[in-house]
Structure 1
């Protein structure tokens, strides 16, 4: 990868100005903080993930050493890491979750070293690679929670948007406050039950389709009896997309190995471990969708439960839902490595757009019926 310390890293080689010294001190503080983030995450991991995080911490220490050499006697009083890095460290020490890895991925992508002449090319390359390493670690966590998380996000968002639209539409028609409240509660229950049932059927159906495509583990027991010349095991590999020549060669090696041992292996070559983690379970998705839809759908109803009426209730409901939509959008953006503000604004635009349409229809029908 090259050396981490360039020829210009000798402090005597040039005269550093006050702005450069401040910038280097900030880099030094940030590298220390980033190393502590990876160490904190490593404490909550085991096996390969722990080793990867410890290696990332060691790389940040190398960068820290570079800036200490650059500063020399001008290191002065230690400064604090920037607020983003400090916040990341707090989350890593407190939670150590996929959420922190997603934030760390974004932090690595903002490295200024590529444009700083006093950082080495190796350091800039390190930061780019660190982003990919953290992306890979975060992807493991995303895969583990994606099924339930998808149901949770969709459930909360649907509850917020659908019940806000329902409540505003009914409220705009001029019906009594009790009717609006009853309609909102009915919409909450009906929507939550529908979402839960729909998620269960959807996830179960998807898992059943995948299970139907998985190889039969019992098929490995007949491998020693296959005709070496016909070698129909090659058809299995061809059916899975392998070229004929490759399939034939692989099947021949497998059969030869099995006959050499005179028994079928404990785990045969036609076994394939299908991973359903990204889908989740039907019960988990259903419960998650039900609970999050209900919690989301409750928010537009809260002002009416508290006794507010008319325009005041509408305004409070819209504000509360706007805050909730912004939070869900930002969380999705952070976990996916996308800009959280953009995702929050997108959620707001979609939710308020749907609510505005139903509110306008409510006003129209209220005027017509009146």
Structure 2
């Protein structure tokens, strides 16, 4: 009869940590499922069940060495806190990253099934996270990136002017000018972008009167097919589509009220036109507010009358914290490690400020 080899202290410690992490991850998925309904809830519960099976694996592996329950690692604890206090988008982004970095791939004590499960879990979580990102990607990304632009550009502007030896009043004036100029520029650009996109889509939309005249066309020389060919259909597809439309319109009764279509069409056009203008103004206002919020932070110390040097130090500290926050959020949304993205954003922002400061010294 074979005797089982006793695990080493290192193995016992590692297995206990695995056990604690699996138990905590199962709790995270159940907490997320509690806030969901339908298919997404079912998927999250099944992931929790899988983590519980992994927990059972390490319990059996430890046997008499299972010991008292331990705390999971800090990353897993943080995910549990996120699951309880924030939406699933950020938590799932962290879980996606954690599942992708599973240690089971390089650990001989973990079964091949465990490693395979973790790889599958990463893809499942990725799919759930993508759905969540799509729901918030537009407005939320605009907010984060708009604020980030304001932070970096206005800090660089203020620090650059400071390098030239300008007094506090000049720094404040420069910062306020940079805030207004940048925010107005962002708003104008966003307005033009949305408006132009709407106009482009409107220009690409087929005009209704073209198809309404199909009933008057010659069936043997039906030029309606040219419309569909111009939209990219092949010759045969366009001919088939045109014939279908032609016959449908031919079968309409003469009692159809053509005037109602004539009156309804302008109303639809007007409604769409107002919708595009409304979206453009909304996008412009949002961009203005997001940029202005970020650009305000570097000038807060000077608004309160601080001297140049201490004010600059406070501004750099405030902007650094804000940059790390926006960078971390960007990382979470993108499914990347938030700390690395936070540090990258910090380096970019302070690097830009450092360059402008050196340029300011040249003109001092």
Task: State whether TM-score is above 0.5.
Answer: yes
- Aligned match for 1:139, one of 110, 130, 142: 130
Change (3 A) 1:95 1:212: farther
How many Å apart are 1:221 and its aligned residue?
Answer: 11
How many Å apart are 1:85 and its aligned residue?
Answer: 0.8
- Aligned match for 2:43, one of 43, 47, 52: 52
Change (3 A) 1:283 1:83: farther
8 A contact 1:98–1:142 mirrored in 2: yes
1:205 aligns with 2:170: no
8 A contact 1:151–1:199 mirrored in 2: no
CA separation in 1, counterparts of 2:117 and 2:235?
42
- Aligned match for 1:309, one of 304, 307, 310: 307
CA separation in 2, counterparts of 1:134 and 1:358?
42
CA separation in 2, counterparts of 1:53 and 1:237?
46
CA separation in 1, counterparts of 2:110 and 2:191?
53
Change (3 A) 1:156 1:73: same
CA separation in 1, counterparts of 2:48 and 2:289?
39
How many Å apart are 1:102 and its aligned residue?
Answer: 0.7
Change (3 A) 1:240 1:99: farther
8 A contact 1:195–1:289 mirrored in 2: yes
Aligned to 1:184: 175
Query: How far does the alpha carbon of each residue in 1:185-213 deviate from its partner, in whole angstroms, 9 at most, with x for none?
Result: 22212322322232233234335545665
CA separation in 1, counterparts of 2:301 and 2:104?
50
- Aligned match for 1:34, one of 21, 25, 32: 25
Aligned to 1:162: 153
Query: How far does the alpha carbon of each residue in 1:23-50 deviate from its partner, in whole angstroms, 9 at most, with x for none?
Result: 2222111111111111111122222221
- Aligned match for 1:153, one of 139, 144, 153: 144
**SS of 2:363 mapped into structure 1:** helix
Query: How far does the alpha carbon of each residue in 1:248-306 deviate from its partner, in whole angstroms, 9 at most, with x for none?
Result: 9x98xxx8xxx9xx99xxxxxxxxxxxxxxxxx54554344222211211111012122
How many Å apart are 1:218 and its aligned residue?
Answer: 11
8 A contact 1:302–1:317 mirrored in 2: yes
List alignment gaps of at least 5 residues for structure 2: 215-220, 253-278
- Aligned match for 1:70, one of 58, 61, 64: 61
CA separation in 1, counterparts of 2:321 and 2:103?
33
CA separation in 1, counterparts of 2:210 and 2:83?
46
8 A contact 2:187–2:287 mirrored in 1: yes
Aligned to 1:361: 359
CA separation in 1, counterparts of 2:100 and 2:195?
38
8 A contact 2:93–2:336 mirrored in 1: no
8 A contact 1:98–1:141 mirrored in 2: yes
Q: How many residues align?
A: 334
Superposed, 1:102-141 pairs within 5 Å as: 102-141=93-132
8 A contact 1:148–1:284 mirrored in 2: no
1:195 aligns with 2:193: no
Aligned to 1:295: 293
Change (3 A) 1:67 1:289: same
CA separation in 2, counterparts of 1:59 and 1:237?
52
Change (3 A) 1:95 1:126: same
CA separation in 2, counterparts of 1:91 and 1:116?
28
Greater displacement, 348-357 / 91-100: 348-357
Change (3 A) 1:346 1:237: farther
Change (3 A) 1:41 1:203: farther
How many Å apart are 1:148 and its aligned residue?
Answer: 1.5
What's the RMSD between the two structures over aligned residues?
3.9
Bigger-Rg structure (1/2): 2
Which structure has the highest helix share of the two? Answer: 2
Change (3 A) 1:203 1:51: farther
Aligned to 1:96: 87
8 A contact 1:148–1:285 mirrored in 2: no
TM value normalised by structure 2: 0.76
- Aligned match for 2:344, one of 343, 346, 366: 346
TM value normalised by structure 1: 0.75
